Amino acid sequence: MIRANLLADAHGRILRDLRVSITDRCNFRCLYCLPETEAAHNFYRGRWANLPQSTPIARVWQPKANLLTFEEIERVVRIAAGLGIQKIRLTGGEPLLRRDVPELVARISRIPEINDLALTTNGFLFPEMGRALREAGLRRVSFSLDSLDRANFQKITGRDGLEAVLAAIQLAKELGMEPVKVNAVIIRGINDHEIEALADFAREQNVALRFIEFMPLDSARAWLRELVVPGREVLERLQRRGELRPAPAKHASETATRWQFVDGRGELGLISPVSEPFCGHCNRIRLTADGKIRTCLFSVTEPDLRARLRGGDSDAAIADFLQTVAWEKEERHHIGEADFVAPERSMSCIGG
């Protein structure tokens, strides 16, 4: 086994990327995650006369006592950094709902082995927190932006927040965060008509926009493959305009197939976990807000790290636990296959 001083799995992958969820709560109710709004229900009812026979995932927020403290998160990151983790991405839920996030950013930014510290946010609270986050050491940020139309944005997210998100993107650029990434989950019949407009936005604003396929991580369990707009379809539509050229991959574990505009402004990426899985190069592991370890977004098991952190385990014991869990990382997910089992928790609870 190649486990000495590294987080490695049984398939030859070395894990370098730790996604840390700091809350399961969210102030948006997106169709692809927490579809609890009337617009969401109307959409699903409009697609099928009979909704899939399944029990929606109960939305019960974790009590504060179950969430890892900043001290516990910092400890895990330090131990993981000693095992080869170099990249940390803070996620949620909506991470900026957690109090004093700049304090956590400052703690992690001081860990020498971490050379990439990023945050994924819906952007709604970023205008009031962005400067403090940057001063604390945040280097990169990714925003969710699924529509440029105010009414459609509200339909998708359940929140009239388009202007706040656009202001957040502008502020991140002013603060020198590089690159500023924007994520758009494309759902057929909801926002696939905005693909070209979103691409134009990326070029005009000189940001990196990622088109992401709709994945079965919604709390309503209403996902169907026919709602997925394959990345290849998105690319074909954009290539008809003749403005794109392939961008060289930065590293093998990149989730996005990247494209550049011919004038050099902005960038587009296609993240296609459903139609073109990239599991073979996955180097990610996840820590949920309540202290569970997930080796895949679609894991059906969650080894409990919190109990060890609070049970007196030494750093060496925690490191050994992380290595054991990493070794069992799934070879791939099974979306769309007969044996696929959806995770018990939605994306908001898992962390992106």
The domains of the chain are located at 17-350
- pLDDT tens, position by position, 103-158: 999 999 999 999 999 999 999 999 999 999 999 999 999 999 999 999 999 999 99
Helix axes 101-109, 126-136, angle to 10 degrees: 20
Question: Helix (H, G, I), strand (E, B), or coil: what is residue 187?
Answer: strand
Q: Are 180 and 173 in contact (CB under 8 A)?
A: yes
What is residue 207's predicted lDDT score, i.e. its pLDDT? 97
Structure tokens at 99: 């109090």
Closest by Cα among 286, 35, 3, 293 to 158: 35
Q: Which residue has the higher pLDDT, 336 or 71?
A: 71
Q: At residue 191, does pLDDT exceed 90?
A: yes
What is residue 49's predicted lDDT score, i.e. its pLDDT? 44
- pLDDT tens, position by position, 40-94: 666 666 655 444 444 444 456 789 999 999 999 999 999 999 999 999 999 999 9
Residue 300 host element (H or E): none
Residue 343 region by backbone torsions, left for phi larger than 0, else alpha for psi between -120 and 50, else beta: beta
Percent of the chain at pLDDT > 90 equals 66
Nearest-angstrom CA–CA distance, 114 and 107 = 11
Cα of first residue to Cα of last residue in the chain, in angstroms, is: 29
CATH number, span 17-350: 3.20.20.70
Q: How many CB atoms lie within 10 A of CB 261?
A: 19
- pLDDT tens, position by position, 253-263: 677 789 999 88
